[in-house]
Structure formats: structure tokens, C-alpha cells
Structure 1
Amino acid sequence: MLLCRTAAVSQAVVRWGSAARRRGAVLHPALSVTCRRCESVSSTEEKAQPADVGSSQGQYRDSVLLPSTDFPMKLTGQKLLDRELEIQRVCGFAELYSWQRERKAKKEFCLHDGPPYANGDPHVGHALNKILKDIRNRFEMLRGRQVHYVPGWDCHGLPIELKALGELGPSGLSALEIRQKARQFAEGAIARQRAAFQRWGVMADWDKCYYTFDGAYEAAQLKVFQEMHSMGLIYQDFKPVFWSPSSRTALAEAELEYHPEHVSKAIYATFPLDKLPAKLASEAEDLKGISVLVWTTQPWTIPANQAVCYMPNAQYSVLKRADSGQLLLVATERTAALAALLGTELESKATLTGSELEGGVCKHPTIPGKEVPLLPANHVTMGKGTGLVHTAPAHGMEDYSVASHFKLSVDCMVDEEGRFTELAGPELAGLYAMDEGTDKVISILKACGALVREEPCVHSYPYDWRTKKPVIIRPSQQWFINTASLKDKAKEVLQKVRVTPESARGSLLAMLDKRTYWCISRQRSWGVPIPVFYHKDTGEALINKHTVSHVSALFKEKGSDCWWELPLESLLPPEVLKKSKAGPVEDYVRGEDVLDIWFDSGTSWAASRSPGPISMWRARTRSEAGFSPRCSPAWPSLVVHGFVVSEKGMKMSKSLGNVVDPQVVINGGTVGPTALQSARDSISKLRNTLRFLLGNLQGFDPRTQAVDPKEMRYLDQYMLHLLRDYSIKVTDAYGGFDAARVIRVLQAFVNRDLSNFYFSIIKDRLYCEPEDSAGRRSCQTVLEEVLDGLTQSETLFRSGWIKSSSVWRRPGLVEAVEGACAIRDSFLAAIPGKNAAQYDLTVAIEPGLLFELMESLQEKPTSTCSQLTELMMSARTTLTSSLPRDLPSDALLASGNFLINLEGGVIREDSAYSIAAVPTCAARCPRCRRYTSATPDCLCPRCQSALSGAA
């Protein structure tokens, strides 16, 4: 995560030169998080220096142009923290957002901030989310666009309410008192989170944030609510919902966590067939006392049973138990499993299809006189149980669908605390349904002979994600959004939205298919009140555009506390009652439910378009989900990112207690012993690369000393080609919101193209050629361009995006260098573990295109200082059309092929080459340490010329 913050924004790092070449005093803070010495080529400078300063040859040390920079190898501890704060101050991070808002720009980029939740201190999840957004915003700003980014906070909801109340609970506190405490808690969390986001350097309009508890925001939210209600998308109904007895409120599916190791007391129970289906009655007259066998993991729901469901297309059998003679009706394909479970043989006495069970009626096992019909249902499966499903419409979603279709009653026998009501009978009333109530139901079944078997069942079960306790399904009068009617249009619109990553689109589409309705009402105090009034006598809801518009205007002016503060006459004035064609105000009471907080954040796009202190611009991109009542995309792009996980791979969660404070990481800590080690190593390599660039640009003035690309050596031109390729790839990765690909592209360029390839070749030229030589200046010009490509300029984030030129791509250039690299690879493979500088190399290529390309790198047949020799890193290179016949016995031979492809395939030639590597007879130069001297004590011709020129 930190590497994403560091390497991904490294194109805007402030360069740090020597005292004589100040380009900026500091690095970007994230780049200096960890600074260990890297083991790559560029970090082993001392080992590669051409002069051995510890030997007698050290007399030439001062004549070698070694890198010089005060950019430190690493910063740690307090120095690191001080440096990061200095960066923010010197580079004007606090003014950066206002600066870019005031500059002229032809295009704008608006990122809508899906709000974080104001229920605690900042954690690494916040860091991931905010930093990813910040990376994108700065990228767009560097491209010349005007960025609109107004941060916000999600401020309502049960977690805040519970934390605000602490151990006190709601007992004795009014709704307004609870809201006051919750608001104070949220404001404190917001202050801590905002301070952390600013400490991380996030660029935003911190003076005009939006908060879901602001009156203007709540008013905009109610407008969306009203629009959806007018369209028939919001309705009130009495139907099963996920209910949390531990927090005494309805829950949305998104507020559930499924416990994979939940243990239930599963039972097999019988429902005596009182009225046989017609076919079974006619064909099995001798079969008496048949019972339907059902299986359930929730025995407490048996008293609420209204039917037993079967699969119409399945086959069913009447089975006789060998041990007791009992007749059981079950699915035929479950026979073997049940026989093993019951420990007895089961003899088939009759078979029939599911559809032939129509008309059958059972007796309820625990309620005398109650009849239970056999009904068809598509949700019946054969994976477990008996193929016959106990159906309690009050306590199951599929069960409720069956009840709705067949007009069954929906009797709820469990209250808001999860206790049985008096409707369940005197034996059960007052017992917790999932605890002692379950035991009592099993006891009753056993007493009446209906219990066949009891067993523990480990399975996945929904828990309240806040209290970490099991939920139940029970019917309740709630407000719902009819997502089924929105599904087709929403899916159509979603196909027009750019989703990143694309894989997330499938999950969103699947979610739309799965959820037919969304419960949006909550039985709490801290939230936006649902603007509804109820008739005292009939319970009928009074809600329309007139009532909601009036309440919305009050919320905008006074905030939603006025729902409890104002008298009912102010909430329902005479003119509103008249327009609503309603009776006198004394006939009504205000509703007590609040909106689900997901509705709060889901409508933030509407509030962010409102005038005033809230962001006024339509979002171009959103980093979290939301909805639009008219099913038009509120934004053209949607970015989805996952959770932060611990080193053990578990999702970090405040409720699990495994979150990490980013301040710990900033101060040198981590999320685990090895979690950030890879990022540390990558940052170290990046720092060392920057250090090499800065050190070798000491004294270089690009305004007067830069070399035109056309006059550069081929290797240098090729490096500019790689730089252009890098800039294209990294720009594309940023444009695709693919931070991981940004990192991969950057690391490949820094480690492979620069450190392992270019730097290892050019060190000799940089260190040992005359300071003003064309070859050295050519190299320095490239280093300057690379440094600009990685860091831009000293005015952090205010200089614009990477600028690369198409002139860096010359026909034949890439083929010449890459052809030479292919030969170089063969050469190095022929001398494994040996020093290439100790060999004379002969390259034999038959006349043709490849030979001509190699001639462009070496005009003379033999050379110790040609561009080809530099690429080979050999002592001497000879270019010829065929290998000599009189090669010495210790010559190492190799061969290969290189495919040349020019002008888009118009020119193609597969050329063969051969090489011979022979240990050189030359002596090592005491200054440059290349094997190009006549004797050990004599400088090579190149060094003699360099020193004489310097003198």
C-alpha cells in the first residue's frame, strides 16, 4: 500500500541535488519511508568504481568523475518524519488544491468521494482509499485538468450510536439526547480522520467538506427519497427482514457477516398426513399413518409453520422403517442417506412424483387442530434433509414468497428481543427463541412423538456485523425499495458505466439479480428520519410530495433534529394538510424510524450536486457504489477496490480488532513482520536509482550542455526510446486506475532498463571520459531526461505530466541496439561467472542488414572504444563477416539468430551471427580499470587523452 503511494507518484518527486546543483531540498514524503541500501547494480557503486582507492592505483582517484550528491541513502526515525513535514511545507501541499482550482484549464476532472464512516480513528483501510484517490487526482492535475474533489463523511448509523452511548445504553435517554451524544462522537472522529488525511498529504478542499448530518445534505437526501416514492419504488410492507435481537433493528444484507462455524440444533420431525394426496390415497389404501418427514436447522420456527413444500418434478417415496414400522414420506433420492442416518433399513412401499402430492394436508405437530397443506415450491433442494421443506412464512424469505402466492397467513411469534410472544403459547412465551426456546420446542416435539432425530449442525449463519451475534428472520412493518422493478434498467445502465476493475461488474450484476427488495428503515435514533406520519386510529401512512417537500425545507434550515424538536403542527402545517387532503393534525403521529445509512451514502451524488458548501459538480468518477432513482448513471466511471487484509490474509476490521493505525507505519512500524518488506525493498531501489541520477548530473546544465538526440550515441538514443515507452505505459496505467500496473511498469523500468542495463554500461563513460566530452554529455542528457520522466521538476506537482518526444524513436535504432544486445547475451552466456572486460570479442555476421546495423555501432573492424564495444562491455570488439580459422584453443564459441523487423514488417530478415571470446592480452588500466593498456603501469590511450586534456 505504501509503495502504491510512493512509487506510483514518483514521477512528481522533488529532485535533490548537491549544494552546487539545488533543484529542490526534499523528496516526496512517501518516497523516504524506508531507505535501506539496495543490492542492485546501482547500489554497489563502490565495487564498480574504476579506481581502487585502497591501492597504489588510487593516485588517479581525483581524476575520475565519481557521482556526488547529498541525497541520502536512507532516512529513518525522527529525521524521516521531519523531512516529510518539511516536504509538505516547502512544496505547499496545503495550498495545492486551491492553486490548481484557480489556474485555467480546458478540462475538469471530478472525483466523487464515497465517504468514510465517522465511527473511529483512521486505519490503513482509510489510507488505501484516500491515497488511491489522491494518486488519481494528482495524475489528472499533472495532465492539466482542473480537479474537483470534495471529501465527505458518513456520519449516521448504529455503530456511532452504540459507541456514543457506550455502556449506558439508550435507557432513560430521549431521542434528542442520543442524537446529541452520537453527533459529538461523530464530530470527534471526523476531526481525527481529517487531521490524518491532511498529514498524509491528501490534496482536497478541506474547508468545504460534506457531512451526511448537515441539514443541506439531509434535505437533498429527502428529495431523492420523495422522487423514488413518487415513482412507486419506495413502499411500506409487513414482510420478513433480517432482524438483530442484539441491536433491536432491521438489517440490510450488507450489514450481515456469515459465521462459517455456527452450530445449530438440527432436527428431523414428522408431520402426520391427515389428508392423503389423491393418487396416494387410491394406490396405497393399505398404507395407514403416513407422516411427512422434514428437516430444519431452526427448530424454534416450527410453531410458526404454515405449510410443507415439495419439488414438483422430483420423485417421492413412502418408506417403511424396519425397526419401528413407521411410514415416512421423503424424496426418493434421499432414501440411502436417511437409512444411514437413522441406522435402519427403509423399504419403499409406494412412489409418486412431486406434482402428485398436490392436495395433501398434514397435521401440525405441536398445535392441535391446525392443518398444514403440501405445496409446490422451486426453492426445495435435494442436497440435504428430506426433500420436503418445513415452511414458516414469518421466518424465511422463500417461505414468505410461498405464503404470498398461496395466501397463507404470516404469523410472527417472536418479538424484537428475539423472545417468543404469547401467540406461541404459554409454554414458550418469554423464552429466547434461539436459546432456551429452541430446547423447549424440541422437548415439545419429543413429547408428542414427532421428533425423529436431533443432531448438531455446523453451517454458515448470518450475524449482525456490529454486535457479532446471530440474527433472525422475522416479519416487521418496514419501508422497502423495490429493487426488482429497477433491476433490468439498472443492469442496462451499469453496462454503460466504466467499471474498474472490470471483474467487479459481474459482482454488481449478480447482486442486482439476487436482491428483489431492500429494507431501508431502521429502528434507531441517530439517522435521517423517514418523513412519514401515521394516522392514530388506522395506522395509515401519510407521505406525499407536499409533506416531504415541507419536511425537507425544514431540515435544510434547521437540521433533522427538528423532527423531534418541533411541534407536530410545524411539521404538518394546515396548508400541507390541505394539499394532502388529510384530516386534522391531531389525528397523526410522526414516524420513529430512520433511514438506513447506506441510503445516506448512496444518495451522496445528489447532495454533492447541490449548491452551497457541498461540492457543486457532477462526478466524473466515483470510488464506491450508489444509486440513482431514474436509473441514469450518476457518474460515467466507477472504481472498486478491495479491503485491506492482515499479514494472515484476514480482512482488517475494527470489530475484529486487527486494524493498524497508519501513524504506526509512518513512524516506522508495519502491518506485520513481512507485509511491507517488498515495498521497502522497491522503495530502496528507487531511491538508489534517483541517487545515481542525481550524483552523475552534478554540474550538468541542460540549458547549455544538453546534446541533441540525433547526435547522441545509439545506446543513449535507445534509452530515450525506452523512456518514451515507459511514459506511454505508465500513463495508460494511471488512466486505467491500475495502480498495481503503475508499480510494475515503474519497477521494470527502474530495475531492468536503468539499473541492470543502462547504468551498468555507462558508468565507464560517465566516470572516465573527459567532463565535457560529447559521449559523457550525451549520457548526461539522457540521465536528465530520465530524471525528468521519473520526477518532473522542482515545483512539486505543478509542472505537468511526463513529456516524451516522438523524435526519440528513429528507424533502425531499436533494431541496432537490440540486435547488439542479443549478441551480448550470447557473449555473456558463453563466459558464465567471468568478467566480460577481460575478453576480446569477435563478432561474425554474413553481409546483410544485421551486419550493416552493427557497422553503425562500430565503423572500424576492431575497436576498444566503439559503441559496440561499450554495449558488449568487452576489452576489444572485432566485427567481421566470418570467424578466423586460427582461433586459440581457449576461445569460447557461440552462435545465434536475430530477427529484424522494420517498417511494420515490410523489411524482415532473420540473420545469423557467431561469436568467439578470447582472454585479452592487454593489461588493466590503473585509472579506468579496463583491459586496454599496453602494460600494467601505463594508462590506456583514452585515459591518457582525458588527463592531458584536463591538464
Structure 2
Amino acid sequence: MLLLCRVSAAGRTLRRWGSQRDGGGLLHRALSFSSGRCQGAGPGEGGAQPAEDSAQARYRDTVLLPRTDFPMKLTGQKLLDRELQIQQECGFADLYSWQRARKAKKEFCLHDGPPYANGDPHVGHALNKILKDIRNRFEMLRGRQVHYIPGWDCHGLPIELKALGELGTSGLSPLQIRQKAREFAVGAIARQKAAFQRWGVMADWDKCYYTFDGAYEAAQLKVFQEMHSKGFIYQDYKPVFWSPSSRTALAEAELEYNPEHVSRAIYATFPLVTLPPDIASEEGVSVLVWTTQPWTIPANQAVCYMPNAKYSVVKREDNSQLLLVAAERTASLSALLGTELQIVATFTGSQLQGGVCKHPTIPEKQVPLLPANHVTMAKGTGLVHTAPAHGMDDYSVASHFKLSVECMVDEDGKFTEMAGPDLQDLAVMTEGTDKVISMLKACGALIKEEQCVHSYPYDWRTKQPVVIRPSKQWFINTESLKDKAKDALQKVRVLPESARGGLLAMLDKRTYWCISRQRSWGVPIPVFYHKETGDALINKYTMSHIAKLFKEKGSDCWWELPIETLLPPEVLKKSKAGPVSEYLRGEDVLDIWFDSGASWAAVLEESDPRADAYVEGKDQIGGWFQSSLLTSVAVRKKAPYKSLVVHGFAVSEKGEKMSKSLGNVVDPDVVINGGKDSGTPAYGADVLRWWVAESNVFSEVQIGPNALNSARDSINKLRNTLKFLLGNLQGFDPRVQAVDAKEMYYIDQYMLHLLHEYSMKATDAYGEFDAGRVIRLLQAFITRDLSSFYFSVIKDRLYCEPEDSLGRRSCQTVLEELLDGVTRSIAPILPHLAEEVYLHAPGHERDETLFKSGWIKSVSVWRRPGLEEAMEGACAIRDSFLSTIPGKNAAQYDVTVVIEPSLLFELMESLQEEPSSTSSQLAELMMAARVNLTSEMPRDLPPDALLSHGTFLINLEGGVIREDSAYSIAVAPTSAARCPRCRRYTAQSADCLCPRCQTITENWSDSD
């Protein structure tokens, strides 16, 4: 009788339950299934024998071998056809709507970050969408109502450029541009949507969100209106990142920094014409500045210094020129100029106050020396040339000291008339730079020119360098939102946690966000400008009216409708504005990051518009994660998400970024359907999903033939196990034939306990977005607990016991639970395989699908007190037995287990009540011919007996009582013969059956 007390085994041994020529070993390898009856050896030996004697052949039909038409492997077109058939038969298309209609206590909301509608689906899409779908399917299986609405980001310059192609915008009206862009986006959406469906992503694909829908645009304008009314949105004339190649302003998130950019850096002099009052008179001193952007020199308005730093007037040994530089930069400048620099005088930066310089290229212009905190000593001279029109820090200085902000650069990146006839119409980054340098050289102000390789911002769409120039734009004051956003972010769970630092750093970096764009394809900013004054007319009345129109007609109406309709009399009256004839409609559109950043307002449910999770790639740390956070905090004072999951990028197997030029691009369509040559087989959707699940998605995710072949092989091994389980459940109906857990063999109960542990760990892993851990748990469970242990142990009982016996039904009950648990545990990752197994599995109606039947079912009775300890103790003894006969067939030996009266002895007695047995649960576990259980070593052991000793530590009552039980094992070859039916060594002679098989065959004959 099993001792039902809480005992925990310390120092448990690993279950090394390999075949050891143990009479079968891994049964699902030893047996080869055909579509119907399993072919191969009987239950006793692994693999078919060269020839079977007539006695063995005579009893073959009395052995209950596995039978199933579930295929061990599917390849090529059969695999593709089967997946599509599964999607059709099992209602993949209707699953999302079904689960939304059912009652559920809790909802799980995963808000879909919109992929960009400007190209074909790629493996980055697959990584993202499948990762989301795995979590959604898991949440649905465990009874939650999933809220997941796929969406697309449809506006923006890349779509506009691709749609227009070589046509350009010349001669096209905004409406014509928008029509072509919309057509292009719709086509890209259709291709991407079809791919997502083929991958098995669960959603209502007829109810997606698109940022060009009128209802979405109206919700977006409502967010804009609320932010404007709270003072977060304003118009200003200030420097912005400007892309001459796109002719539009850009936000920080639209930049790519090229670390290999080469600039022509210069050292130039600004002669001091008014010495600072605190400095002794030094005639002919020039301030030395350094810049990597010589084209900005004509726009110079000041030279800045660091108030607390030391500065020196130095004399060049080679030409006696006097230069003002930072004291700590003297040594490096001396090396750079190739001459000694003799220090004439040294003083603090604050003593430079009041100094005035002459502009080097504009003789009549004078510029002051001004203090500034952004001056650094890392490079240059410690004195910074300041052009407020072309630098963010420079603009701050200008704002503080009321300097003018003169822009000499137009929207094409060329000098304007204001720059003078020598520079007008020259592109500032190329020939404009050449001309400025030659002008500095001509007037003697150029001291040194050098090439400087440094990180420089590029337009992420055109891959061309940008400039900083002032422009009248619309901005969000992120400086005033930053602290609130940080506080909100502290309440958000971030996976991996290391990504939180990047999010906070990006918030710190951004002081304002330029949200206006000079394009046609986007949501127009609902503003009107007075024809004479240029003043903007925008308020809650004008915006509410425009939002209503957008919802009804879409944002094309901004260009389609007359201004009298956009700005009707009642709106003008409420706005206290003049007649409509005095106004023009604005031409700017909103930044697409504002488009997508407002998605929470358009998509999430109003009752609690916070998603449980946002799941996107690491590039969204400075993109959608941020724009969503800032807009939500501004309007609602809280984040739009409870957790953020930040995954890496898909890269080649060499870790390289994918590019067509390198030829390492992996097309998910080719992965699924195969390529033109034999080297690119059809893997199907589940292999693609396994690749996503198995990867460490929090780092860069490698994909290529090796990864895909490994995924395919892993799935085939899993199919092998599932086929074994299905084959042994042929004719078993758990609804009427299942055995109650309390009546089961202890090893069967123990397997339910291990299944319960596995299912709990898998559940926790899914909840952490860690599908890779699920796969590792699954593979360990199958390899260690099933294939190498349980399947080997139960083969005799499963194949050779009477079909309806308690022992066999007990085993089948567990096999059905194992099949069900393993299939459900892997279903979120492999939905096609899971539903295919479920179609073959017993115990449910034919029209029922796995995904409509819930998560893994486990009951508390599976974890019986004392059960684990009894089995672990027996397994420790089993390990000792198998290690005594390495490489030998355990079935050919008798085992004597000697344990002094103790708790361990009582535990073993629960597995074998009689002193000696060939059919006890302990004998089955040992897979030996006979097991003798005694408290004293027998005196009549055969001389060739092998002895071994061991101990098993048991803790009682949480360690209050500890018992270190010793045991000994005597192993000797059995004197019994091998039974021709069961192939166990339990027969009196080789030509007769063992008593058990004799009885079974007699009953078999009677039933025939």
C-alpha cells in the first residue's frame, strides 16, 4: 500500500532510462508504422529479427500493436495541401469571431502595431505576427476573450514615392497623388494580409484597421484636438531636420544615422574687434572655431564659450598669429597645426563676456561671444561657431539672447538670395560647401581643413543626408510631457527589462516633436491661415467640424470640398473669426508617427483603452512605442499599454542584416511553398512558426536553411511521438473506458503528475512570451520522461495484456491524457499539427476542434502525496540496476532489492506487495525478468551475481525528519526462458508460453 505522506526525495538522480538493450528501448523508433497496422517487431526486442520461428509468428496476432493512419511525415505538396485543408476543415477563418462571441470572465488585448503598407511580406513580418499569434492562441485556449485587430499604417512618403515611381509629383494635384498612393497601399495590404492568413494568424481579417479610413482619421483628429486644447501642440518657426531629397521636415524617428558619413571639417578664425573688458589688451587676437558644416558659416550669429572652462591666448611659433582657444585643447591643436603654441595669457570663460568678433566672410557683420552650456572640450577648439538657423543648441542660445534666426537655405537644400550672389542656388552640402571654404581661404580665415568621419543623420526613406534649417512647423512640446511619460512608463512591464533604458533615453533626447509634413499623402492638419496676417485659425469648433467630415467622407474631402463647407458660417461665428474669404486651408499633413501613435484611440475599446501588450521590434523604441505613449499620456495621463514586448530583428544565419545585394534575403513565401530549385523545399507554415517560437526573440533572430531544417526535423520527431500515442489509443474511448486515477498503476499516476508539472511550466512560459522555453520543456519531457522512460516501461503491459484489462486501460488512460496535454501545449505554436492530431484523437465529437475545446486539463488528484517519492526512490534503485549491467538486456536478469525496514522499504512495498514477482509494478519499472524485495541479503545468491549499493535520502515534514535509506542490489542472469509471445524471460522453456500469455491466448482463442 502506498504510504500517503508528504515525502520529498533529496539528491534525486536524473532518469537515465535509456534502452540499455532493455527489451525495446524507444518503441516509437523500434516500430515502423504504415497506414493501418504497425509493422515490425513484437514488444520484447527492439527491431524486427532476421527470421521469426513459427512459434513467434503464431502468436503475433494476439499482440496489440499500435495502429493509426496518422502519417509519420508530410512533405512537399501533400504537406501544403494538408495545412490548407486543416485551415478549412477546422475553421481557422472563423475562430476569432467565435471566441469573441463566447462569454469569458477576462479579456486579453494585444494591440497590433501597424505594419507599413509599402511592400511584400518578409520574415520580419513573420517574426512579429507569429509571435503575437502564439500568445493570442494561448490566451484563447485558456478561456480568455482575445481582442486583436490587425492594422496597417497607410500614409507617408515611402508609399507616395513608390506609388508615383518615375512620374514624380510634377503636374499632379494632391488628389491625384493621394489616389495613386491609396491604390498602391491597398495592393500591399492585400499581399501582406494573404500571407498573414497563410501563416495561421488568428484574426477577423474582414475587420482590420487602416490609418486611411475616415473613422480612424476622425479619431486621430480628436486626439490632435485634445492635445491642442491642452497646449501640447503649437506652431513655431525653429530649426528642424529637413530632407532636401524629400522636401519635407522630419522627426527624429524618421532619421537614420550613417556612422561613415564624411564631412569637410574646417578650423576658421573670427577676429576679435572688441576685447572683453576683463582681458588685458592684446592686439590682433582671433577666435578659432571648428565645424564639420562649413556651409553654415554665412549664417553665423555668435561664438559660444563654456563659462567655467579655462581659455588661453596662444601665439603660433611659425607665424606669430594670436589665437583664442580652450586651454585644455592647446596640446592637440599644436599637434594638428604642426607648430608650437606659446601661451600668452590664460583666464576663465566667464571673463570673455562682452567680446565681439568680426564675421569672416561678411565684413560689415559683427557677432558676440556668448556663454553656453552645450560647449564641450571633446573635440575642436572649445569655442563653438553658432548659427541659430542650423542647429538645435544654437537656436536655444538665440532664443535666450534674442538673436535673429536667418535662414539662407531653401526647401531643396540650396542657398537663397539672402546668402549673396556668390552662394545663391548652390546646394549647401556639395558645391555650397566648396564655395564657402574658398571664401574663407580667400579672406585668410581658413586655418586648417580635414576630412571628418562621423555619424550624421540621413532621411531613412531616401537614404540621403538631411540638413537642419528653420521652418514654420507644427510641434508637440514633448519637454512638458517627458516627466509624465516617464512616470507612466514605470508602471509598464517591459520584456526584456533591458529595453526600458532605451525607452527612457529616447524620452530624454526628445525636447520637441515636429509633426507637420509638406506632403500630400497623409491626414491634413485641420488649420486655416489668414491670407494677410498668416495667423492660424484652429480651435475645438473647427477641428470638431473637420473630424465629423473626415468620418463621413474621408480626408480627401479636405481637397475636394470648397472651403465654405470646411469652414461654415456657424463655425466661423463660434470661432469669432472673419468671413471665410479671408482664409486659406493649410497644406501640411501629419507625421505618420502621429497617425499610428493615435491608434489606441481608434482601435482599443473605450471601456479600458489600455492594451495588455504591445509587441514590436526594437526599432519601435524610438517609434510607435514612444508616439503611442506621448499621445496617450497627453490626453489620458496614462500609458496605452500594460506591458511592452521588444523583439529583435530577423537576420541571416551569419548574423548579417538581410539585403538583396548580399543575396541573403529569406522570403517567407518560399519558406512555406518552396523555391524553384530542390535546395529550397516546401516547409509549410508550422515550420515557420516553430522557427519563431524556438528563437530567442529578445535578440537578433537568425534564419536560413540550417534553422529551417532543424525546425522541420524537430516537428517530425514530435510527429513520431504523437503517432506512437495515437497508434496505442486505437479503439480506446476515454469517455467510457478511462480508469480513475486512484485505481491506476503508480507509474501511470506518476506520469500524470509529471504531465501536470510540465503543463504548469508551459503555461507560465507562454505567459512570459517565452515560447522557446515551451519547446525546450516539451523536448525534455518527450525525450526524458516519455521516450526514454515511460514508453519503454509500459510496452509489455500495453501490447501483451488483455485488451480490456485494468493495467492496459490504466496505461491507455494516461496515454490519452499525454496525447491531449502535449497536443494542447504545442497548439499555439503549431496550430495545423495540433488540429491534425485532434482529428485522429479519441474522446470527442468529429466536428469539434481543438481550439474550441480549451487548454490542458489537469486535476489535483494527479499530484498524490507520496506518489512522487515512491517513484523517485524506485527509479534511483532502477538506475543502480541498469548501471550494473551496462549495455545488457535488463529483461534477462533477476534483481534482488535489499532494504532494511524503513520508509523506503514501505514505499517499495507499495509497488510490490509479495516478496518475489515477475508482474509487479516494481518488476515492470525495472523491466527485469523477476524482482525480489527483501530486508536481508539472501544467502543462496548465485556465484555470478553482481552486487551494488546505494542510498536514497528522504525528507519528512519539510526536513524535520530525515531518513537516509541504504539499499543493495544483487543482479543475476535469470534461469527462465524467453516467452515466444511477450518475449519476456518468464517462461519455463523456450517452446512454451509464460503463465500470463498462456491464459491470454486461451481466452483469445475462446473469443475467436
Q: Same fold (TM over 0.5)?
A: yes
Offset from partner CA, 1:698-729 (integer Å, 9 cap, x none): 12221332221112122211110111112222
**Which segment drifts farther, 585-594 or 90-99?**
90-99
Q: Does 1:308 align with 2:303?
A: yes
1:645 to 619, 644, 651: 651
| Mapped partners of 1:257, 1:920: distance in 2 | 77
Q: Which residue number in structure 2 is paired with residue 681 of structure 1?
A: 713
Cα–Cα, structure 1 residues 262 and 873, in superposed 2: closer, same or farther, change >3 Å? farther
Q: Which residue number in structure 1 is paired with residue 737 of structure 2?
A: 705
Offset from partner CA, 1:812-848 (integer Å, 9 cap, x none): 1111212233344444455555554455545444443
| Mapped partners of 1:935, 1:336: distance in 2 | 101
Cα–Cα, structure 1 residues 855 and 367, in superposed 2: closer, same or farther, change >3 Å? farther
| Mapped partners of 2:367, 2:988: distance in 1 | 108
Cα–Cα, structure 1 residues 70 and 425, in superposed 2: closer, same or farther, change >3 Å? same
Pairing of 1:801-816 with structure 2 (within 5 A): 801-816=855-870
Q: Tell me how far 1:127 sits from its aligned partner.
A: 2.5
- Alpha carbon RMSD of aligned pairs, Å? 3.1
Cα–Cα, structure 1 residues 924 and 397, in superposed 2: closer, same or farther, change >3 Å? farther
On the 8 A contact 2:600/2:609 being kept in 1, the answer is no
Q: Does 1:777 align with 2:777?
A: no
Q: Which residue number in structure 2 is paired with residue 582 of structure 1?
A: 577
Q: Tell me how far 1:589 sits from its aligned partner.
A: 0.9
**Which segment drifts farther, 106-115 or 209-218?**
106-115
Cα–Cα, structure 1 residues 105 and 325, in superposed 2: closer, same or farther, change >3 Å? same
2:397 to 382, 392, 402: 402
On the 8 A contact 1:608/1:616 being kept in 2, the answer is no
Amino acid at match of 2:291: T
Q: Which residue number in structure 1 is paired with residue 694 of structure 2?
A: none
Q: Which residue number in structure 1 is paired with residue 44 of structure 2?
A: 50
Q: Tell me how far 1:89 sits from its aligned partner.
A: 1.5
| Mapped partners of 2:180, 2:108: distance in 1 | 38
On the 8 A contact 2:260/2:454 being kept in 1, the answer is yes
Q: Tell me how far 1:463 sits from its aligned partner.
A: 1.6
Pairing of 1:544-943 with structure 2 (within 5 A): 544-608=539-603, 619-623=611-615, 625=625, 626=628, 627-628=631-632, 629-651=635-657, 660-668=666-674, 669=680, 671-791=703-823, 794=839, 795-796=848-849, 797-829=851-883, 832-881=886-935, 895-915=949-969, 924-932=978-986, 939-943=993-997
Amino acid at match of 1:439: D
Structure 2: segments with no counterpart, 5+ residues: 1-24, 33-39, 617-624, 675-679, 684-702, 825-837, 840-847
Q: Tell me how far 1:523 sits from its aligned partner.
A: 0.6
| Mapped partners of 2:160, 2:384: distance in 1 | 40
Cα–Cα, structure 1 residues 455 and 751, in superposed 2: closer, same or farther, change >3 Å? farther
Q: Which residue number in structure 2 is paired with residue 229 of structure 1?
A: 228
Q: Tell me how far 1:580 sits from its aligned partner.
A: 1.2
Q: Which residue number in structure 1 is paired with residue 71 of structure 2?
A: 72
1:512 to 503, 507, 512: 507
Amino acid at match of 2:704: G
Cα–Cα, structure 1 residues 362 and 63, in superposed 2: closer, same or farther, change >3 Å? farther
Amino acid at match of 1:495: Q
Q: Does 1:438 align with 2:420?
A: no
Q: Which residue number in structure 1 is paired with residue 251 of structure 2?
A: 252
Cα–Cα, structure 1 residues 650 and 275, in superposed 2: closer, same or farther, change >3 Å? farther
Q: Which residue number in structure 1 is paired with residue 126 of structure 2?
A: 127
Q: Which residue number in structure 2 is paired with residue 174 of structure 1?
A: 173
Q: Tell me how far 1:730 sits from its aligned partner.
A: 2.0
Q: Tell me how far 1:293 sits from its aligned partner.
A: 3.1
| Mapped partners of 1:884, 1:468: distance in 2 | 86
| Mapped partners of 1:348, 1:829: distance in 2 | 85
| Mapped partners of 1:654, 1:234: distance in 2 | 41
On the 8 A contact 1:142/1:800 being kept in 2, the answer is yes
| Mapped partners of 2:673, 2:858: distance in 1 | 37
Amino acid at match of 1:855: E
Offset from partner CA, 1:907-942 (integer Å, 9 cap, x none): 543444455555656555544444555555555555
**Which segment drifts farther, 787-796 or 688-697?**
787-796
Q: Tell me how far 1:880 sits from its aligned partner.
A: 4.6
Q: Secondary structure at the match of 1:645?
A: strand
| Mapped partners of 2:730, 2:62: distance in 1 | 15
Q: Tell me how far 1:697 sits from its aligned partner.
A: 0.9
Q: Tell me how far 1:574 sits from its aligned partner.
A: 1.8
**Which segment drifts farther, 495-504 or 720-729?**
495-504
Cα–Cα, structure 1 residues 565 and 836, in superposed 2: closer, same or farther, change >3 Å? same
Q: Tell me how far 1:472 sits from its aligned partner.
A: 1.7
Q: Secondary structure at the match of 1:167?
A: helix
Q: Does 1:385 align with 2:380?
A: yes
Q: How many residues align?
A: 906
On the 8 A contact 2:658/2:664 being kept in 1, the answer is yes
On the 8 A contact 2:244/2:466 being kept in 1, the answer is yes
Offset from partner CA, 1:342-378 (integer Å, 9 cap, x none): 3444444443333343333333332223333333333
Pairing of 1:223-622 with structure 2 (within 5 A): 223-279=222-278, 281-282=279-280, 288-608=283-603, 619-622=611-614
Offset from partner CA, 1:311-340 (integer Å, 9 cap, x none): 333333444444444444333443443344
Amino acid at match of 1:173: L
Structure 1: segments with no counterpart, 5+ residues: 1-38
Amino acid at match of 1:713: Y
Cα–Cα, structure 1 residues 421 and 933, in superposed 2: closer, same or farther, change >3 Å? farther
Cα–Cα, structure 1 residues 276 and 82, in superposed 2: closer, same or farther, change >3 Å? same
| Mapped partners of 2:274, 2:928: distance in 1 | 99
Q: Tell me how far 1:906 sits from its aligned partner.
A: 4.8
On the 8 A contact 1:608/1:618 being kept in 2, the answer is no
| Mapped partners of 1:849, 1:229: distance in 2 | 76
Offset from partner CA, 1:875-921 (integer Å, 9 cap, x none): 44444556679988876665554432455445543444455555656
| Mapped partners of 2:663, 2:283: distance in 1 | 59
Amino acid at match of 2:31: E
Q: Tell me how far 1:239 sits from its aligned partner.
A: 1.4
| Mapped partners of 1:74, 1:923: distance in 2 | 39
On the 8 A contact 1:110/1:617 being kept in 2, the answer is no
| Mapped partners of 2:661, 2:238: distance in 1 | 30
Q: Secondary structure at the match of 1:692?
A: helix
TM-score, structure 2 normalization: 0.84
Cα–Cα, structure 1 residues 514 and 861, in superposed 2: closer, same or farther, change >3 Å? farther
TM-score, structure 1 normalization: 0.88
